[in-house]
Amino acid sequence: MNQPIRFADRNFKLAVVQELMYNQELLPRFSLREYAAEQGFTFDGGSVEAVPEALAYFDAFEVPAELADKVTEIEMDGGNEIYLEIAPNWDGEDGLFDVDEFADVEHFPNLKSMTLLYTGDDEALETLRTRGIEADWL
C-alpha cells in the first residue's frame, strides 16, 4: 500500500492538488458549496479570506504517492479552481497561496515546469532551475 505524500509546504500541496484534482481529474473534485452543505457550515462567498473549513479539508487531504509521477507541470494562477474553492472571492493581491518552501519537489521526479505566483524571491527560481525544473513567475 502506497503512503500519502508528506508535504512540507501547504501551498505547494495545493498547487499539486490543483493539477491532480482539477486539471487531470485524477482525484475527487472538491466543491466548497457541497462541502459546506454536507458539513453544515456557512461561509461568506464575498470574502477574499480563506474559508477555515476548506483549508482544514485540504490540510487533512491525502495525495497518494502513486500519483506523484503524473505531475509534470505546476501552473499557479490566481484563477485556479482550488484557490476559488478555498477563498471564493480571493483577488490574488496578497500572499495567501505563495509557496515558501520548495523541498516538496523531491516527491515529483517528472516535474519539469513550474509557474509560480509572484513573490519576488528569485532565489526560489534558481533553486528550482538547479533541479532541472523550468521555473518562472506568473
pLDDT in tens, 60-111: 999 999 999 999 999 999 899 999 999 999 988 889 999 988 999 999 999 9
End-to-end CA distance of the chain: 37
State residue 80's pLDDT score. Answer: 96
The pTM (predicted TM-score) of the whole model is 0.95
State residue 1's pLDDT score. Answer: 54
State residue 120's pLDDT score. Answer: 76
Per domain, the residue ranges of the chain are 10-137
State residue 38's pLDDT score. Answer: 98
Phi-psi region of 40 (alpha: psi -120 to 50; beta: other; left: phi over 0): left
pLDDT in tens, 41-65: 999 988 889 999 999 999 999 999 9
Question: What DSSP letter does each residue of the chain carry, written as one string?
Answer: -PPBP--S-HHHHHHHHIIIIIIS--SPPP-HHHHHHHHT----TT-SSPPHHHHHHHHH---BGGGGGG--EEE--TT-HHHHHHSTT--S-SSTT-----GGGGG-TT--EEEE-----HHHHHHHHHTT-EEEE-
State residue 137's pLDDT score. Answer: 92
